[in-house]
Amino acid sequence: MSNNDTFEDEPPNHRDLAPGEELIAEHEPAGGLWGYVLGFGLAILLTAASFVAAQTDLIYQPAVISALVVLAIAQMGVHLVFFLHITTGPDNTNNVLALAFGVLIVALVVLGSIWIMANLNENLGHMSLHDAEMLP
Amino acid sequence: MSAAAGDITARSTGRDPYRLGRGDGGHGVATGHGEGGPASPFVTVAYGFWIFLLSDIVMFSAFFAAYAVLVNATAGGPTGRELFDLTTVATQTGVLLTSTFTAGLAMLAAHRRAMLACQLWLLVTGVLGAAFLLLEIQEFVTMIGEGVGPTRSAFLSAFFALVGCHGTHVGLGLLWLGTMMAQLWVKGFRADIIRRLHCFSLFWHALDIIWVAIFSLVYLLGASS
């Protein structure tokens, strides 16, 4: 390949952005090094919060799972914004749409599996191994 | 529509037709609607790799679903509460999170075309990644030595498959990282090398996103419930 097709070969605001690409611009408060430092700090905070939530007695035990799921999703969001530089800008539309489709499939696979298997457990729960073998 | 087409034909005279729409063809704004002609190799390569990463995450979601379904199928064997050592998990999390941060610093150095800083941050990333992998292998070897290997119960099969799959990704990422350091050293900041380096950083950040799900939903949830 020629040497002139990297990210500097055309004015970046003239085209779509690649995933993970960031333009270090003055008007970006969380751009460049500060973006990474801020993201790192937020990720550490959320990780610490997760470890505390899992081990403390302050949270009602059945609600711990909700706290962990929310904190995990929040931290994934921090990673996407500060490390992978996914934004809502028009130059990021393609990246966001691909991500949205991925999230849809992940949600279908995970929630669908849990839902269906919980249902099966519920319906077959009172059956002994012997009964299960008698099934057609 | 017709005005735009007329615009293009009018302006294309005397210009390389394959450069149509590159640069000023986008009328000065990033549109996100596919206007402005074919994207540069940097954008298409990174976008293709983004699609791969998302499909990789979809594959991981199947492992997560299997784990979530089988988490209580311990067959009378040990549960996560008895097995998981949260101190090790905290160390692993800190190490991998720091390595994803240093990978970002390496990309900033690559943007400045600072060879020494870039290589240094890549090396730190690799050392931290190797430390993570070592801790994980140590954990697996200890567990298997105590007779709680993947054959003990469906829960442990799902656990070893999920966490082992992530560990395999980290191992392959380390090989890729070493290759990239060597290529960067020999070939310099060439366009194709920068594209590969960018894809590597995307890969490494995505691995940490998957680890967030693993430490929250496997280790912390398993140890707390």
Residue to test with chain A: of B220, B221, B225, most A Cβ within 10 A: B220
A74 touches chain B (CB under 8 A): no
CA distance B123 to B196: 16
Domain count, chain B: 2
What are A6-31's pLDDT values in tens digits?
A: 444 445 555 678 888 876 554 555 56
Residue B204 and residue B133 share a domain: yes
Interface ipTM above 0.95: no
Q: Is residue A106 part of a domain?
A: no
CB nearest to A79's CB, from B39, B69, B208: B208
Residue B91 and residue B15 share a domain: no
Residues of chain A neighbouring B33 (CB-CB closer than 8 A): 93
A4 touches chain B (CB under 8 A): yes
Q: Is residue A49 part of a domain?
A: yes
B43 touches chain A (CB under 8 A): yes
CA distance B87 to A12: 45
User: Least CA distance to A42: which residue of chain B?
Assistant: B97
Domain coverage including residue A53: 22-84
Of A50-64, B50-64, B166-180, the least confident = A50-64
CATH of the domain at B205: 1.20.120.80
Question: What are the residue ranges of helices labelled H in chain B?
Answer: 2-12, 41-70, 80-83, 86-111, 115-145, 154-187, 191-214, 221-224
Domain count, chain A: 1
Residues of chain A neighbouring B64 (CB-CB closer than 8 A): 110
CB contact (8 A) between residue B194 and residue A91: no
Residues of chain A neighbouring B192 (CB-CB closer than 8 A): 1
Q: Residue A121 above 90 pLDDT?
A: no
Please tell me the pTM assigned to this model: 0.83
Q: What angle do CA B137, B90, B144 make, to 5 degrees?
A: 30
Looking at residue B68, what DSSP letter applies?
A: H
Q: Supply A14's token pair.
A: 């003239």
How many C-beta atoms surround the C-beta of residue B115 within 10 A? 14
Which is more confidently placed, B194 or B14?
A: B194
Chain centre to alpha carbon of residue B110: 18
* Mean pLDDT of all residues in B63-70: 96
Residue B154 and residue B88 share a domain: yes
Looking at residue A18, what DSSP letter applies?
A: P
Give the range with max mean pLDDT: B14-18, B61-65, B69-73: B61-65
Q: Is residue A113 part of a domain?
A: no
Residue B150 and residue B66 share a domain: yes
Q: What count of Cα atoms within 13 Å lies in the side-chain half-sphere of residue A61?
A: 4
Residues of chain A neighbouring B86 (CB-CB closer than 8 A): 51, 54-55
Query: Are residues A24 and A32 in contact, defined by beta-carbon separation less than 8 angstroms?
Result: yes
A115 touches chain B (CB under 8 A): no
Domain coverage including residue B33: 1-38
